[in-house]
Amino acid sequence: MTEYERSRTMPAQPEQVFDQAANVGQLATWLPRDLHVEPEEPPAVTVHEDRTDQDTSALLSARPEQLRLEWGTREQGSYAGWLQVAGLDSGASEVTVHLSFFDDTHDPGRRTVAEALDGSLRRLEEQVRLRTDNAAG
Protein backbone atom coordinates (compact mmCIF):
# COMPACT_ATOMS: atom_id res chain seq x y z
CA MET A 1 0.00 0.00 0.00
CA THR A 2 1.21 3.49 -0.86
CA GLU A 3 -0.13 6.68 0.72
CA TYR A 4 0.15 10.33 -0.25
CA GLU A 5 -0.98 13.50 1.48
CA ARG A 6 -0.91 17.20 0.69
CA SER A 7 -2.32 20.28 2.45
CA ARG A 8 -2.97 23.89 1.47
CA THR A 9 -4.20 26.93 3.35
CA MET A 10 -7.09 28.81 1.72
CA PRO A 11 -8.36 32.31 2.56
CA ALA A 12 -11.99 31.39 3.25
CA GLN A 13 -14.22 29.97 5.95
CA PRO A 14 -14.12 26.16 6.16
CA GLU A 15 -17.79 25.80 5.23
CA GLN A 16 -17.23 27.79 2.02
CA VAL A 17 -14.26 25.64 1.09
CA PHE A 18 -16.09 22.40 1.85
CA ASP A 19 -19.19 23.47 -0.08
CA GLN A 20 -17.05 24.10 -3.16
CA ALA A 21 -15.08 20.86 -2.80
CA ALA A 22 -18.22 18.75 -2.23
CA ASN A 23 -20.22 20.18 -5.13
CA VAL A 24 -20.40 17.13 -7.42
CA GLY A 25 -21.33 19.30 -10.39
CA GLN A 26 -18.15 21.35 -9.91
CA LEU A 27 -15.62 18.55 -9.30
CA ALA A 28 -14.12 18.97 -12.77
CA THR A 29 -13.06 22.51 -11.87
CA TRP A 30 -10.52 21.29 -9.34
CA LEU A 31 -9.87 17.54 -9.69
CA PRO A 32 -6.82 16.36 -11.65
CA ARG A 33 -7.40 17.14 -15.32
CA ASP A 34 -7.27 13.46 -16.33
CA LEU A 35 -10.04 12.36 -13.92
CA HIS A 36 -13.69 12.75 -14.80
CA VAL A 37 -16.43 11.95 -12.30
CA GLU A 38 -19.96 11.12 -13.44
CA PRO A 39 -22.54 11.06 -10.65
CA GLU A 40 -24.91 8.13 -10.42
CA GLU A 41 -27.31 7.16 -7.65
CA PRO A 42 -25.59 8.70 -4.57
CA PRO A 43 -23.10 7.83 -3.28
CA ALA A 44 -22.17 5.94 -6.48
CA VAL A 45 -20.06 7.62 -9.16
CA THR A 46 -18.10 6.48 -12.18
CA VAL A 47 -14.54 7.75 -12.51
CA HIS A 48 -12.94 7.87 -15.95
CA GLU A 49 -9.16 8.09 -15.95
CA ASP A 50 -7.59 9.38 -19.18
CA ARG A 51 -4.21 7.81 -18.36
CA THR A 52 -5.67 4.28 -18.50
CA ASP A 53 -8.81 5.11 -20.56
CA GLN A 54 -10.83 3.10 -18.04
CA ASP A 55 -14.06 3.69 -16.16
CA THR A 56 -14.11 2.62 -12.53
CA SER A 57 -17.11 2.26 -10.23
CA ALA A 58 -16.51 4.28 -7.10
CA LEU A 59 -18.22 5.80 -4.09
CA LEU A 60 -18.13 9.47 -3.08
CA SER A 61 -19.64 10.53 0.20
CA ALA A 62 -19.80 13.96 1.77
CA ARG A 63 -19.93 14.40 5.53
CA PRO A 64 -20.81 18.10 5.91
CA GLU A 65 -20.94 17.93 9.71
CA GLN A 66 -17.27 16.84 9.64
CA LEU A 67 -16.28 18.96 6.60
CA ARG A 68 -15.02 15.74 5.02
CA LEU A 69 -15.26 14.00 1.64
CA GLU A 70 -14.42 10.32 1.30
CA TRP A 71 -14.09 8.23 -1.85
CA GLY A 72 -12.84 4.92 -3.11
CA THR A 73 -13.31 2.17 -5.65
CA ARG A 74 -16.28 -0.11 -5.20
CA GLU A 75 -15.58 -3.66 -6.33
CA GLN A 76 -11.83 -3.93 -6.65
CA GLY A 77 -10.74 -1.83 -3.65
CA SER A 78 -7.71 -0.44 -5.47
CA TYR A 79 -7.70 3.07 -3.98
CA ALA A 80 -9.40 5.32 -1.45
CA GLY A 81 -9.01 8.86 -0.27
CA TRP A 82 -10.38 11.71 1.74
CA LEU A 83 -10.42 15.49 1.83
CA GLN A 84 -10.68 17.25 5.19
CA VAL A 85 -11.27 20.96 5.73
CA ALA A 86 -10.24 22.52 9.05
CA GLY A 87 -10.78 26.08 10.21
CA LEU A 88 -7.85 28.21 11.32
CA ASP A 89 -7.93 31.01 13.90
CA SER A 90 -7.28 33.59 11.17
CA GLY A 91 -10.60 32.81 9.45
CA ALA A 92 -8.79 30.83 6.77
CA SER A 93 -8.97 27.08 6.23
CA GLU A 94 -6.55 24.24 5.78
CA VAL A 95 -7.49 21.57 3.25
CA THR A 96 -5.79 18.19 3.42
CA VAL A 97 -6.14 15.49 0.76
CA HIS A 98 -5.03 11.94 1.47
CA LEU A 99 -4.80 9.10 -1.06
CA SER A 100 -4.21 5.40 -0.42
CA PHE A 101 -3.39 2.99 -3.24
CA PHE A 102 -3.96 -0.63 -2.24
CA ASP A 103 -3.08 -1.94 -5.70
CA ASP A 104 0.29 -0.84 -7.10
CA THR A 105 -1.03 -1.00 -10.67
CA HIS A 106 -3.31 1.97 -9.88
CA ASP A 107 -0.53 4.05 -8.29
CA PRO A 108 0.78 6.47 -10.94
CA GLY A 109 3.89 7.21 -8.86
CA ARG A 110 5.01 9.72 -6.24
CA ARG A 111 5.87 12.59 -8.59
CA THR A 112 2.69 12.28 -10.66
CA VAL A 113 0.50 12.10 -7.56
CA ALA A 114 2.27 15.02 -5.85
CA GLU A 115 1.84 17.21 -8.95
CA ALA A 116 -1.81 16.17 -9.29
CA LEU A 117 -2.58 16.89 -5.63
CA ASP A 118 -0.79 20.24 -5.65
CA GLY A 119 -2.56 21.24 -8.87
CA SER A 120 -5.94 20.14 -7.55
CA LEU A 121 -5.55 22.07 -4.31
CA ARG A 122 -4.43 25.16 -6.25
CA ARG A 123 -7.48 24.92 -8.56
CA LEU A 124 -9.79 24.37 -5.57
CA GLU A 125 -8.39 27.53 -3.99
CA GLU A 126 -9.01 29.43 -7.26
CA GLN A 127 -12.63 28.22 -7.30
CA VAL A 128 -13.11 29.20 -3.66
CA ARG A 129 -11.65 32.66 -4.36
CA LEU A 130 -13.96 33.13 -7.36
CA ARG A 131 -16.96 32.10 -5.28
CA THR A 132 -16.13 34.27 -2.28
CA ASP A 133 -15.14 37.27 -4.45
CA ASN A 134 -18.46 37.00 -6.36
CA ALA A 135 -20.44 36.68 -3.12
CA ALA A 136 -18.71 39.76 -1.68
CA GLY A 137 -19.11 41.88 -4.79
> What confidence tens digit (pLDDT) does each residue in 73-84 have?
877 778 899 999
Helix (H, G, I), strand (E, B) or coil at 97: strand
> What confidence tens digit (pLDDT) does each residue in 18-51 have?
999 999 989 999 999 888 899 888 899 998 888 8
Q: Is the pTM of this model over 0.85?
A: yes
> What confidence tens digit (pLDDT) does each residue in 118-133 have?
999 999 999 999 988 7
CATH topology of domain 1-133: Alpha-D-Glucose-1,6-Bisphosphate; Chain A, domain 4 (3.30.530)
Q: Residue 100 CA to chain centroid, in angstroms?
A: 13
| Domain residue extents for the chain | 1-133
Cis peptide before 42 (omega within 30 of 0): no
pLDDT of the residue at 84: 98
